[in-house]
């Protein structure tokens, strides 16, 4: 990584997928590139450029539209811009460059809010979810009439004494309205003959507004001008599997800045420099309202839900990982498993339920656990190549499936603080099991499918019995399992480090005094 390369919050671009093999793994690379399950894993650069450019054009058009209607109809609602996120931003996309995710940052000018916990019906705090209490509602309601007209602030809580942002109304009555008007505007600009070609469909799936565009003739916008692009060499598997040409899918996610955390600056770590030792990591809130979601069914606050997005940390980990060969091997291993699962699902082999326990976000969490436990501790920082990395990755995934438990990397995980000392997640929050809502039958079928995957990928990974069991031990402990180590392991101290040091020094001093007194008495 060059010293002037942008990363994390400073980088807002789509990134080419990571694909790195280790020394002496040329044969493995050839097998990956030609394997029936993985042959489409890597994306043609020209297709990546064309589709990412089209996505940016669409996002630019949408952004211009909602900014226009925000100014005209929603005084005080400020739309700042797009923040790219997801696998296309992180370099973890597989098989095609047809899906893009972005946050659209907004604010209500002058609004002051406080994050409040959300509880389920049993009184237990719901990890990852919050609601936002408005501290100055009278001022805002007086200056921005649309807030009252659309019931954006609703009284709830104890004795109905506080105003909270109603995410259902904010999404349904404000953002949906602006996006629909933008869609109509784009449609009207098209020549009549292109209106049957260009498809701009909008649906609502909180927190996202998915936009789908037909690629039978791709239309790329620059202001009010457009050019038709004929796609060459379309992936034959799309037509073979689906009977039609592919579509470009863009997930548009309105987001509010909750806070700004600070993370280590990799360019200044362990260096004598006048540059900042830390850099920003923005934590966003995204609207989570939806009656059909599992979370909303478990709480009375279902119309006020926001999710704390960890995408800022996720982008930082991946961007910094590009500097480290071992971490690149783990990202490549993650993409291998993603590609295999995607092939199985797209080829009508989705009854095995493997895709349910190995969705993209779950696999990314496994990847983060591997990075933290296999490459961050100072005594064991390296992996020999993709074969070893894939072995550990699959073993971590197997442990999760067998134990019906995939710990969310950013909640209740002490190892987060090994990477980010001041992270506002980690030990500061309760644990979250990403598998908690999956059925027992799903796991039974997924276990069988996992065994088939091990056979299909045999030879691409190091067999589990040849891996260092002690390097897997910390992950087993995260799952609540025991492990007997061959050598002493680092333990997390429950006391502040400075207090621990003082305590040790006191014990040493007392020991010396006792020895001196004893020696004097004996004389």
Query: What pLDDT, on the 0 to 100 scale, is given for residue 180?
Result: 85
Examine the pLDDT at 193 and tell me if it is beyond 70: no
> If DSSP codes are grouped into helix, strand and coil, which group holds residue 351?
helix
Q: What is the pLDDT of residue 234?
A: 39
> Is the domain covering 45-230+243-309 a CATH 3.40.50.300 domain?
no
Percent of the chain whose predicted confidence (pLDDT) is above 70? 76
Which residue do the tokens 């980088």 mark?
11
- Average pLDDT of span 350-356: 80
Q: How far apart are CA 69 and CA 72, in angstroms?
A: 5
Give the SS3 label for residue 221: strand
According to the per-residue pLDDT averaged within each range, which of 184-193, 213-222, 224-233 is highest? 184-193
Question: 153-156 and 201-202 as β-strands: parallel, antiparallel, unpaired?
Answer: unpaired
Mean pLDDT confidence for 126-153: 95
pLDDT tens figures, 382-391:
999 999 999 9
The mean pLDDT of 188-210, rounded to a whole number, is 57
301-314 pLDDT tens trace: 888 999 999 999 99
CB 19 within 8 A of CB 329: no
Residue with tokens 């942008």: 6
Torsion of Cα atoms, 196 then 198 then 202 then 208, to 10°? 160
Greater confidence (215 vs 176) lies with 176
pLDDT of residue 58: 79
Burial of 477 (0-12, 13-18, 19+ CB in 10 A): middle
Longest dimension (CA), the chain: 109
More confident call, 244 vs 276: 276
User: Where exactly are the structural domains of the chain?
Assistant: 1-42+324-485, 45-230+243-309
The least confident of 210-219, 221-230, 432-441 is: 221-230
The β-bridge relationship of strands 247-264 and 99-108 is parallel
pLDDT at site 515: 60
Long-range pairs of 378-381 with CB within 8 A, sequence gap ≥ 24:
380/468, 380/471, 381/326
The lowest-confidence range among 104-118, 144-158, 300-314, 488-502 is 488-502
Provide the 3-class DSSP secondary structure of residue 254: strand
Give pLDDT tens digits for 419-448.
999 899 888 888 999 999 899 999 999 999
Instruction: Please list, in sequence order, all residues whose beta carbon lies within 8 angstroms of the beta carbon of residue 463, skipping any fewer than 6 positions away.
Output: 391
Which of the four pLDDT bands, split at 50, 70 and 90, describes residue 275? low
Q: What is the mean pLDDT of residues 17-35?
A: 96
From 107-121, 130-144, 168-182, the region with the lowest mean pLDDT: 168-182
Highest mean pLDDT among 209-218, 395-404, 490-499: 395-404
Give the pLDDT confidence score for residue 267 in this predicted structure: 83
- Mean pLDDT, the chain, rounded, equals 83
Q: Is the pLDDT of residue 252 over 90?
A: no
pLDDT of residue 187: 67
pLDDT for residue 224 is more than 80: no
Please determine, for residue 23, whether its predicted confidence score (pLDDT) is greater than 60. Answer: yes
Given a cut of 70, whether residue 404 has pLDDT beyond it is yes
Return d(Cα 152, Cα 165) in angstroms, integer.
6
Of 224 and 198, the structure prediction assigns the larger pLDDT to 198
pLDDT at position 268: 79
Token pair of 420, please? 């980010």
3-state secondary structure (DSSP) of residue 334: helix
């Amino acid at each position: 990584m060059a010293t002037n390369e942008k990363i994390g919050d400073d980088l807002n671009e789509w990134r080419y997928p990571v694909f790195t093999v280790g020394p002496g793994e040329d044969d493995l690379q050839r097998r990956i590139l030609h394997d029936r399950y993985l042959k489409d894993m890597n994306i043609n650069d020209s297709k990546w450029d064309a589709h990412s450019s089209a996505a940016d054009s669409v996002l630019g058009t949408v952004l211009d539209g909602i900014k226009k209607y925000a100014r005209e109809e929603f005084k005080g609602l400020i739309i700042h811009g797009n923040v790219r996120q997801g696998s296309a931003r992180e370099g973890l996309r597989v098989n095609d460059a047809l899906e893009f995710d972005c946050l659209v940052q907004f604010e209500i000018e002058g609004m002051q809010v406080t994050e409040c916990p959300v509880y389920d019906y049993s009184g237990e705090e719901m990890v990852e979810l919050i609601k936002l209490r408005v501290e100055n509602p009278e001022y805002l309601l007086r200056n921005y009439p649309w807030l009252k007209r659309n019931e954006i602030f609703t009284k709830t809580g104890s004795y109905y004494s506080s105003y909270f942002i109603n995410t259902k109304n904010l999404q349904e009555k404000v953002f949906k309205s602006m996006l629909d008007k933008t869609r109509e505007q784009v449609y009207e600009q098209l020549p009549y003959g292109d209106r049957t070609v260009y498809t701009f469909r909008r649906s609502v799936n909180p927190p996202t507004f998915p936009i789908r565009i037909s690629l039978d003739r791709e239309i790329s916008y620059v202001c009010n001008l457009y050019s038709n692009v004929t796609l060459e060499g379309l992936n034959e598997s799309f037509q073979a599997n689906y009977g039609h040409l592919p579509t470009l899918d863009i997930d548009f996610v309105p987001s509010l800045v909750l806070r700004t955390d600070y993370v280590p600056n990799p360019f200044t770590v362990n260096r004598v420099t006048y540059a900042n030792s830390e850099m920003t990591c923005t934590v966003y809130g995204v609207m989570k309202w939806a009656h059909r979601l599992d979370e909303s069914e478990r709480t009375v606050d279902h119309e006020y839900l926001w999710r704390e997005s960890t995408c800022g940390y996720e982008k930082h980990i991946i961007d910094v990982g590009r500097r480290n060969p071992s971490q690149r091997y783990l990202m490549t291993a993650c993409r291998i498993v993603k590609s295999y699962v995607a092939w199985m699902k797209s080829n009508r082999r989705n009854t095995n339920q493997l895709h349910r326990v190995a969705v993209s976000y779950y696999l990314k969490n496994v990847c983060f656990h591997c990075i933290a436990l296999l490459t961050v501790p100072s005594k064991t920082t390296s992996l020999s190549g993709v074969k070893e990395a894939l072995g550990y990755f699959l073993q971590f995934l197997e442990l999760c499936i067998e134990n019906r438990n995939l710990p969310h990397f950013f909640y209740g995980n002490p190892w987060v603080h090994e990477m980010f000392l001041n992270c506002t997640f980690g030990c500061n929050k309760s644990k979250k099991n990403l598998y908690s809502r999956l059925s027992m039958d799903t796991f039974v079928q997924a276990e069988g499918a996992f065994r088939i995957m091990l056979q299909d990928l045999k030879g691409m990974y190091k067999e589990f019995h040849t891996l260092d069991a002690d390097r897997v031990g910390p992950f087993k402990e995260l799952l609540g399992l025991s492990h007997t180590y061959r050598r002493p392991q680092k333990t997390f101290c429950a006391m502040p480090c400075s207090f621990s040091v003082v305590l040790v020094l006191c014990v040493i001093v007392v020991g010396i005094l006792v020895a001196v007194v004893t020696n004097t008495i004996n004389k």
